[in-house]
Amino acid sequence: MTTQSDAQFTARTLSEALPYIQRYAGQTIVVKYGGHAMGDASLALSFARDVVLLKALGLNPVIVHGGGPQIGKLLDKLGIVSEFKDGLRVTDEATMEVVEMVLSGPINKSIVRAINQAGGKAVGLSGADGNLLRAEKATRTTRDPDSHIEQIVDLGFVGEPSEVDISVLNALLQADAALIPVVAPVGVGADGARYNVNADTAAGALAAALKASRLILMTDVAGVLDKQKQLIREIPASQVELLIKDGTAVGGMIPKLETAAQSVNHGVGAAVILDGRAPHALLMELFTEHGAGTLVS
């Protein structure tokens, strides 16, 4: 049972959120829901409720999800060895089959079901639907430390977004403004080939195409940590390359920071990297003055 002081606290919290609700009304917020942030069933339902609340408050949330750990589990079961380079999974044909199966299948549908269970109306898509996310083979190079010669790293079917066609999202929202799109980051090539696109990168490309006011990357750390493991609250987009070059950000944090900076440079209001395991992290970030995580602007 809630006491009167609990009720007063709730009422005050709602009242204090008013300027933020007014600021974001009608704005598109792209939320990247990472595989590590998915946690247990109650956390997933709590995330879904927060998304439904955003919609009820007049924001336009678009969810792009990951599922790296879940892909890893199935690959392990199938005895397929998987390797990462700079936070990207080297993807051969057999791995691509598993990636698409896991992302477009159980993960996408479990998020759609959770949002709908929370009273929303989610619809699941992948990059192939309506050519939402066109991709091309990603290219990466490394420099040999001895000879300084650049070498091409072959990542297989890892894709980079080449074009985003938001018409399918517009058509859905025109048909029913209550819909909440949930996008699996599987891109489609001009030749019809499918590509494994890092979910952060996919979310950044969508945020830029949708001219989102916020790109929120939900992960399993408090934000970007410095070398002393202290949270960095704000990073100018221009300093992101430096943090990657000096080794502060490694592995999965590299595509996050690159995406955050690129999306800001392409007109997204700001990008935030925050801890999706913290209950209501999304609401705290958007509707309180205690923004959580690291802001890239």
Ligand X SMILES: CC(=O)N[C@@H](CCC(=O)OP(=O)(O)O)C(=O)O
Ligand Y SMILES: Nc1ncnc2c1ncn2[C@@H]1O[C@H](COP(=O)(O)OP(=O)(O)O)[C@@H](O)[C@H]1O
Binding residues for substrate: 67-68, 89, 196
Are 133 and 185 spatial neighbours (Cβ–Cβ below 8 Å)? Answer: yes
Stretch of residues binding ligand Y (CB under 6 A), selected from 29-37, 42-50, 139-147, 173-181: 29-37
Q: Which of 6, 190, 250, 265 binds ligand Y (CB under 6 A)?
A: 250
Among 112, 224, 272, 292, binds ligand Y (CB under 6 A): 224
Annotated binding-site ranges:
67-68, 89, 196
Q: How far is CA 152 from each of CA 122, 134, 140, rounded to the nearest angstrom?
A: 40, 23, 6
- Helix extents (H) in the chain: 4-16, 18-24, 41-56, 68-77, 93-102, 108-117, 167-175, 199-209, 240-245, 253-265, 281-287
Q: Contact between 169 and ligand Y (CB under 6 A)?
A: no
Q: Decide if residue 49 touches ligand X (CB under 6 A).
A: no
Q: How far is the CB of 235 from ligand Y (least distance, A)?
A: 10
Pairwise CA distance, residues 26 & 275, whole Å: 25
Query: Which does residue 249 touch among ligand Y, ligand X, none (CB within 5 to 8 A, set by kind)?
Result: ligand Y
Residue 124 touching ligand Y (CB under 6 A): no
Assess 99 for contact with ligand X (CB under 6 A). Answer: yes
Report the residue closest to ligand X, judged by CB.
66
CB of 88 vs ligand Y, minimal distance in Å: 10
End-to-end CA distance of the chain: 42
Question: Which listed residue (221, 260, 274, 282) binds ligand Y by CB under 6 A?
Answer: 221
Q: Nearest distance from residue 197's CB to ligand X, in Å?
A: 6
Which residue of 60, 219, 259, 262 would you call a contact of ligand Y, by CB under 6 A? Answer: 219
Distance CA 52, CA 158 (A): 32
Residues in contact with 288: Cβ distance below 8 Å, sequence separation at least 6, in sequence order: 16, 17, 20
- Rounded Cα distance, 170 and 88, in Å: 30
Two tokens, residue 102 = 């896991």
Judge whether 115 and 182 are in contact, CB under 8 Å: yes
Residues that bind ligand Y (CB under 6 A): 34-37, 66, 68, 87, 219-221, 224-225, 248-253
Residues that bind ligand X (CB under 6 A): 34-36, 66-68, 71, 88-89, 99, 158, 185, 196, 198-199, 252
